[in-house]
Amino acid sequence: MFVMITETQLVEVIKEAKTATKQRKFTQAIELIINFKDIDVKKGFALNEVVQLPKTSSPATVCVIATGDMSLKAKQANADAVIGTSELDKFATNKRESRKFINKYDFFLADTKVMPLVGKTLGQLLGPRGKMPTPVPFDAPIESFLQRFRTSIKVRTRASLSISCKIGDESMEDTDLAINAHAVLTAIEKKLPNGERNIKRIMVKTTMGKPIKQVQEVKKKFA
């Protein structure tokens, strides 16, 4: 029987993954891989979660789609990009530029008033990529939304018994990476039909490295 890995053991697996990889001319990402079991993917199993990471080395990029006051506040809060309805109209006639634009950003936020136009102009491109904007009510604090999404990742899979997501990079402390892995595991466990019993294997790898499996089965649930 699989029992969830502890945070201490995550540190050991992360350390081994770092040691096992060759030095590269760029900072490699650290990826968490989770394999599932006893789930019938034919019944539409899917995960599409935004998980906020407690520790981050580089913020996620966030684009805000809004007009008026929200647009102004998003610019003041240094959103990575702020576009309005005129830009959306331009994207509607240029799919190539739309794709290039969408690929630049990790997350999209949109004023609820412009969501119908977003769906009409970019929905066919955003949807399959799991990047449909999170609606933001006109009177909501856009600054708080930006702060949350800048420290978040998207964990997404459809009809598959595994996921892979970035939990940081090799410049980060092993303990911080383990804390992030713990946050992802906690969030995913809650979405599984039978919780931790649906988790078969946990692995960690660098961008160019081989996956390192957890060292052993553990005797208690992660704390």
pLDDT, tens digit, 9 for 90 and up, residues 71-104:
999 999 999 999 999 999 999 889 899 999 999 9
pLDDT, tens digit, 9 for 90 and up, residues 169-185 = 999 999 999 999 999 99
* Alpha carbon distance 75, 71 (integer Å): 6
Dihedral angle, C-alpha 46, 184, 34, 132, nearest 10 °: 30
Q: Output the pLDDT for position 22.
A: 87
Residue 194 has what pLDDT?
92
The tokens for 92 are 């509607």
What does the block give as tokens for 138? Answer: 């006109």
Q: How far is CA 111 from the centre of its chain?
A: 21
At 24, phi and psi to the nearest 5? Answer: -115, 170
End-to-end CA distance of the chain: 19
Q: What integer pLDDT is reported at residue 142 of this predicted model?
A: 96
Task: List the beta bridge partners of residue 162.
Answer: 35
Q: Cα angle at 24 between 61 and 17, to 5 degrees? A: 85
In contact, 30 and 140? CB cutoff 8 Å: no
Q: What is the pLDDT of residue 4?
A: 66
State the pLDDT at residue 216: 42
Q: Specify the DSSP class assigned to residue 210.
A: P
| Domains, in order of start, for the chain | 7-57+154-213 (3.30.190.20), 62-149 (3.40.50.790)
Please give the pLDDT value at position 57: 86
**Residue given tokens 């995913």 in the structure block:** 188
Neighbours of 66 (CB within 10 A): 26
**Residue 86 has what pLDDT?**
94
Residue type, 32: L
Residues of the chain with pLDDT under 50: 1-2, 215-223
Q: Which residues, listed in sequence order, are joined to residue 164 by a DSSP beta bridge?
A: 33
**Tell me, what's the pLDDT at 3?**
52
Instruction: Give the Cα separation of 151 and 180 in Å (integer).
Output: 11
CA angle 154, 62, 132 (to 5 degrees): 55
CA distance 168 to 219: 27
What pLDDT does residue 43 have? 86
Identify the sign of the CA torsion 102, 107, 113, 115: positive
- pLDDT cut 90: percent of the chain above it: 78
